[in-house]
Amino acid sequence: MVTSPDFKTFHGSPNGQVVEGIYKARELLGNEVLIRITSSGVCGTDLHGLSAGIVLGHEGVGTVEALGNSLKGGWKM
């Protein structure tokens, strides 16, 4: 069993402010990859979702932290 750690996001809110969210750990599914995002671009497209409460940034860069237990083959960590 591979469990993801708690993690933090930044998302919009109904009043248009950026707020921090903390999400609880859960077991990774067999075909999932956990990536620790170190940088993420935020652009004009994200402004459309700012008051909708969605997570901001959609061009993430990071490192692979964990692999689900059914991933095999050429993956390396």
pLDDT per residue over 4-34, tens digit each?
678 888 888 888 888 998 888 788 888 888 8
The CA distance from 68 to 66, in Å, is 7
> pTM for the complete prediction?
0.65
Residue 1 counted as domain residue: no
Residue 43: pLDDT above 60? yes
- Estimate the share of the chain in helix, then strand, then coil, as percent rounded to the nearest 5: 5, 40, 55
Residue 21 within any structural domain of the chain: yes
> Domain range holding 54?
7-67
Assess if residue 17 is contained within a domain.
yes
59 is a domain residue: yes
The count of structural domains within the chain is: 1
| Residue 77 falls inside a structural domain | no
Let me know if residue 75 belongs to a domain: no
